[in-house]
Structure formats: structure tokens, C-alpha cells
Amino acid sequence: MPRHSVTLIPGDGVGPEICEASTRVLEATGVEFDWDIQQAGENVMAEHGTPLPKHVLDSIRRTGVALKGPITTPVGTGFRSVNVALRQELELYACVRPIKAYEGARNLRDDLDFVIIRENSEDIYAGIEFERGTPDCDRLLSEISQLSGKRIQPDSGLSIKPISVSGSERIVQYAFDYARQYHRRKVTLVHKANIMKHTDGLFLAVGREVAQRNSDLQFEDRIVDNMCMQLVLRPTEYDVLCCPNLYGDIISDLGAGMIGGLGLAPGANIGVNGAVFEATHGSAPKYTGQNKVNPMAVMLSGVLLLRHLQEVEAGDALESAIAGVIAEGRSLTYDLKADRNDPTAVGTSQVADAIIERLEAAA
């Protein structure tokens, strides 16, 4: 079996402990890794003058794949989110978030199995913003008023929402490719084209064109507000959802809530210059160093990583070991318990021990 070079970014907050638990279970599958450990975030600012040093990006460009813990974005310091910067620098344009109900988890219902493909680089998340009252904002406000013939309140701030033909084409094609690779049947494009004709409308029009070239799979579209209701009422009718950035962000958390919370919501950011696997959740700073939070979202991101590396059998084995531990219900962290103060909840590292025990028993 080949060894795999993988960049490991432990992150901060609870990141290092959940990454340690996750690398232990990944190694217990028998797949061999050379971890290139790289630090990013506020803690490296003093030494490197940036929260995302060039050598971290170079490592991912070299290995092509990273497992990443969450990284805190300090409020009010002016530095960009490392997580967003990483996606932009490496052009990680597709965020993949499977929503799958595991037996024994606190699911809304037990037959949930759909995947959210979120566009990662455009939309209101592009970070093009103008602060209320600044000369640039005032200039833009008057320019827009002139061009559109509509008056905007002079005390407004502005966030710009660009959606391009090329960006839309790339993400919708990715959604079809993903559906085909993972034996799914349908892509549903999510939008608000009835209101935002030149951004969401463009996304939908391009999506329809791409669908014509992928006619072996079903295609449909849903307006985002209806999509949210449909997911709660009739989730099994949906398979792969393809969303612009903001709706993908919101629907991801809706989905995470449907399967018992952020502790079970994995993710992958796939792009031109590599793939970064990370949980949907953040660094939960109040639990740092307490061996308390659920490592399963990072572990399930590790399952996606294994499949990405073509280690499909190992990925399946790890997923079924995690599912077994959830179904058994003995070695679960507080967030998977009905009562968050349940004294039978175990810690982060005990979850890893229980999963490793299952992997070893199945081997």
C-alpha cells in the first residue's frame, strides 16, 4: 500500500485535541500517512507576521491534501479569516458537506442522506465590502443611485455579491461529477433567481446549460426558502444540492441540525490546487484542552479524505466503526446525549479509543 503525504493543520481551540484523536483513528485503518504538521492562526502571527504563512500553503500545494482543525478568527483585529483565506489562496472552490443520519444520533429522522455542494469563492462571501460613511462607500452609493435610478439610504453600508458564468459553470459541473462518482441520481440547484435576476438568475441559467451536458443525471432547481422547508418535510426527495456560497452556508447548518448537531457534520474543500478536509464547526474556544468535544466531525472528514485518496475500503471501515460507536451509545461525547449534562458522556480521546477498538476487531 502506498504511503500518503498529508498536510496536518491542527488549528487552535479544540482543534489540536480533535485532530490528534482523528489521526489516531485514521492510522488505525492501516493506511500509512506522512503527516506534514503545519501551524496557522493567531498563534503564529508574532513569528511569521501573518496567520497563514506561505510555507503552510506550499505544503498543501506539495501534498495536494490537508486535514485541518478549526482556526479561531479573532473579532475586531482586522485580520482575515484564515479559513476563508485558505479557500481563496488555493482556489478551493467546492465545499462538500454530506448530511447523513447515523442510527442512534439525535436525528430529525433516521433516513437522511443528502450532500450539499457549496460554491466557496464567490457571492456575498467574496469579501468586497464598503463601510458606511467612508468616501469609497459614499462614492459607490451615488454611482449606484445614478446607474440604477434607485435611491439608497445615504447611511448604508455595502456588500457586493458577484456571481460569474465561469464560477457557476465550474461548481455545477463539480456537483454533477460528484453525483456520478458517488452513485447519486439527482442534482438540485438552489437559488433566489426570482429576486436576484443577475446573480442567482445567472447561476440558474448556467446551471440549466450545464445540466443539458450531463443529461444522464436528473436536474431540478428550488428557491432557497422553499428548499429549507422541503428539507424538513421531504428530505429523502433530495440527493445532491448545489448552492451559491451564502445559501450553502446556511443550509449546511440546517443539515447539521437535522443529524444531531455540528459534532457529526464533516466537510471537504476541493479545488484546483488541493483539497482541505475539515469539520463544519469552529474552534469552540471555551472547551479548549478539556478533552470534552466530539471529534467525530473531523474523523468523518477523514473518511472523505480516505475516499479522496482512493482508500475506499479504509474509508468505509472507518465510517462503519464510527457508526457502530454511535449506535452502541456507550462512548459518546456530551453533545450526542439527550441531556448535555449526562454524566455518562465520555471525552474526546475515549471516543477515539472506542473507534480504534472496533477497527481492530473488524480487521
- 200 vs 249, which CB is nearer to ligand NAD? 249
Catalytic residue among 102, 125, 174, 178: 125
Catalytic residue among 34, 58, 225, 342: 225
Exposed/middle/buried for residue 2 (C-beta within 10 Å: 0-12, 13-18, 19+): exposed
| Catalytic (active site) residue 111 | no
For β-strands 65-68 and 274-277, DSSP reports them as: parallel
**Contact (Cβ atoms closer than 8 angstroms) between residue 100 and residue 259:** yes
d(C-alpha 318, C-alpha 64), whole Å:
22
| Catalytic (active site) residue 125 | yes
Cell of 183: 452513485
- 56 vs 297, which CB is nearer to ligand NAD? 297
- 70 vs 207, which CB is nearer to ligand NAD? 70
Choose among 7, 4, 10: nearest CA to 288.
10
Residues that bind ligand NAD (CB under 6 A): 70-73, 83, 262-263, 278, 281-286, 293-294, 297, 333, 335
d(C-alpha 64, C-alpha 56), whole Å:
12
In the complex, what is the shortest distance from the CB of residue 264 to ligand NAD, in angstroms, rounded to a whole number? 9
Cell of 112: 437522511
Catalytic residue among 12, 123, 249, 335: 249
In the complex, what is the shortest distance from the CB of residue 279 to ligand NAD, in angstroms, rounded to a whole number? 7
In the complex, what is the shortest distance from the CB of residue 271 to ligand NAD, in angstroms, rounded to a whole number? 15
| Catalytic (active site) residue 12 | no
Q: 49 in the Ramachandran plot: left (φ > 0), alpha (ψ -120 to 50) or beta?
A: left
In the complex, what is the shortest distance from the CB of residue 284 to ligand NAD, in angstroms, rounded to a whole number? 4
Cell 438552489, located at residue: 190
- 19 vs 163, which CB is nearer to ligand NAD? 19
| Catalytic (active site) residue 225 | yes
- The catalytic residue positions are 125, 192, 225, 249
